[in-house]
Chains A and B, each alone.
Chain A
Amino acid sequence: MPIISTSGLTHVYGENTPFKVAAINDISIEIGKGEFVGIIGHTGSGKSTLIQHLNGILKPSAGKVFLEGKDIWENKKSVRQARFKVGLCFQYPEYQLFEESVYKDIAFGPKNMGLSEKEIDKRVVQAAEYVGLAASLLEKSPFDLSGGEKRRAAIAGVMAMQPAVLILDEPTAGLDPRGRDKILNLIKDYRESTGSTVVLVSHSMEDVAKYVQRVLVVRNSRLEMQGSIKDIYSKGELLKDMGLDVPQITKVFEILQGKGLDVRGDIFTLEEGFNELLKFFGKEVSV
């Protein structure tokens, strides 16, 4: 059984007005327990609207959302459950920090869950550790942190609820390369150590190729396609059409193949490309 699924999910903004528009239209997806899924699509395609349904922030105009097989809108309790079990980290989450200390901010979610002080403390310390925030920062005001630290504190706040599914909307937007790699690696480590399901919304085709197992592509409010990195990234023309692009390394190999070099065409990460060429030139491949 998938941990989250939707059937015929549709959301209409401005119903009964002349500005009525379907932000997502008839979307049916399944996300398996423990999966690392990427969602890509251009701005305005409906990605953010879609993920806001997965924990019941938005109520569908039509269709259903199931968490562990149960309709999350069945009753009040089930929606509340969904909000705790599915952790959603918005774009630029650092703008949502508000408490007087980093500790209190991270503790906000667990506190709302009604956990004991002891359990809350355990979770805050652990979440701070997941995101690599030093214990000495916990008593500081969140506004005294650097941009990257703020972002990580905000992500820790979601992790501290120990959601079964962690959804992150563009967690690396606006960060420098070092900050970007740091966040993606900590999400990867978090997933590996907790076995959580992770959904990553991203504009970076390089990052998606490097981290996720399966990709959902949203276009014009519909699910355009889904599949493995290989399935999706081999459709370069279609992606370009959608304002997306394959990674540069993939283009290098397309040219090499086009010019008759005997190498694979399905290369999506630098690591794969490097190893493929080492093999081609008869050098040792380091594993």
Chain B
Amino acid sequence: MQDSNIKNPIIEFVDVSFSYEAEDDGTQKVLDKINLSIKPGEFICILGHNGSGKSTLAKLTNAIYVPQKGRVVVDGKDTADENLVNDIRQTVGMVFQNPDNQIVATIVEDDVAFGPENLGVAPEEIRQRVDKALKDVGMYDYRHHEPHKLSGGQKQRIAIAGILAMQTKCMVLDEPTAMLDPVGRAEVFETVMRLNKDFGITVIFITHFMEEAVKAERVLVMDDGKIVQDGSPREVFSDVQKIKSVGLDVPQASELCYRLRKAGIDLPPGMLDEEECANAIIKAAEDIS
């Protein structure tokens, strides 16, 4: 679907620094010379403790913020160019943490139509897009419902449908599952995974839940305004000490294998789930008997 883009990143950060103005002592640096290249169709999870710069990075991807130093280029367009802001926002859509803060209409399908309406899409086409988007997130049966009566997971899927209806190539989700229960969390994460797989939508998914991160293609770990790890989940979760040193967790299976290995039991690094972990332990048990 994105043949012409294969070689070009859809989002690129070049030496990006960003500071907020602090009340008392000048400025507070939040991002420090970030270089990052995201290919079309990637599924990336970003991890990092509160205040590590994740949300600021997210807001730089669709020109909510523009960098003070360096450049952010989205689908070939520099976000600092004010004339291109509309194009950029049609390329990158955002979903935020609190499901109650991003619903604008009183009926589900009106809410999903809000984005394309603002883009000036023709009414018949809006109708088609809204129906399709709601079907794609599994909320079509709720199209006439009142959003405030839905569960948190359902509200987030409505927000995602709103972005789908704008047909953006890229979706940035800033802790969309943080306020949800386990069922809602799985609903939202699986929906996003499917949209990435079926439609090739590029996804940047910020989360504190390691069980989500292990399913991404690529994991970025942020600390103190820098990207300190960038690799596959297996690579990133191999270095348990590093992850812990930046205030994060690893899946229990990864940590168990790591601690056993340190205790002198011969296990491979980077075990991600219960199957891998159990199989490695069984193999180690066979080796010693």
Contact residues of A with B, CB < 8 Å? 42-44, 146-148, 173-179, 203, 206, 243-245, 247-249, 251-252, 255-256, 259, 261, 270, 273-274, 277-278, 280-281, 283
Contact = CB atoms under 8 A, between A and B. Distances in A.
A153 B259 CA distance: 35
Given A177-B248, A248-B252, A278-B260, 20 more contacts: A173-B178, A174-B97, A174-B175, A176-B49, A176-B50, A176-B248, A178-B248, A248-B211, A249-B252, A249-B253, A251-B274, A252-B274, A252-B277, A256-B281, A270-B255, A274-B259, A277-B265, A281-B265, A281-B284, A283-B265
Interface stretch (B102-110, B118-126, B181-189): B181-189
Contacts of A248: 211, 251-253, 273-274
A286 B48 CA distance: 31
A178 B260 CA distance: 23
A259 B277 CA distance: 13
A148 B50 contact: yes
A36 to B, nearest CB: 22
A255 B248 CA distance: 27
B208 interface: yes
By CB atoms of chain A within 10 A, which of B179, B183, B252 has the most?
A: B252
Interface string B215-257: 0000000000000000000000000000000011101110110
Contacts of B249: 177
A237 to B, nearest CB: 16
A280 B285 contact: yes
A274 B260 contact: yes
Contacts, number: 98
B152 A252 contact: no
B263 interface: yes
Contacts of B274: 248, 251-252, 255
A270 B182 contact: no
A169 to B, nearest CB: 12
Contacts of B264: 283
Contacts of B3: none
B183 A243 contact: yes
Nearest to B98: A174
Nearest to B151: A43
B256 A249 contact: yes
B278 interface: yes
28 contacts: A43-B152, A43-B181, A146-B51, A173-B179, A175-B50, A175-B208, A176-B50, A176-B208, A178-B49, A179-B49, A243-B181, A243-B183, A248-B251, A248-B252, A248-B273, A248-B274, A251-B274, A252-B274, A255-B274, A256-B282, A259-B278, A273-B256, A274-B256, A278-B263, A280-B285, A281-B285, A283-B264, A283-B265
Contact residue range for chain B? 35 or more
Given A146-B51, A273-B256, A277-B256, A174 B278 contact: no
A42 B97 CA distance: 20
Contacts of A247: 252
Contacts of B252: 206, 247-249, 252, 270, 273
A150 B158 CA distance: 30
B275 interface: yes
Contact of A255 (B152, B175, B278, B285): B278
Contact of A261 (B48, B51, B281): B281
B1 interface: no
A176 B247 contact: yes
B10 to A, nearest CB: 28
Nearest to A44: B151
A156 B284 CA distance: 48
A261 B178 CA distance: 37
Q: Which 7 A-B pairs have the closest CB atoms?
A: A178-B247, A255-B278, A251-B274, A177-B249, A248-B252, A243-B183, A43-B181
Contacts of A281: 260, 263, 265, 284-285, 288
Nearest to B48: A176
Nearest to A92: B179
Contacts of A176: 48-50, 208, 247-248
B253 A243 contact: no
A167 to B, nearest CB: 19
Interface in B13-54: 48-51
B32 to A, nearest CB: 19
B182 A244 contact: yes
Nearest to B263: A283
Interface string B39-79: 00000000011110000000000000000000000000000
A52 to B, nearest CB: 18
A261 B285 CA distance: 8
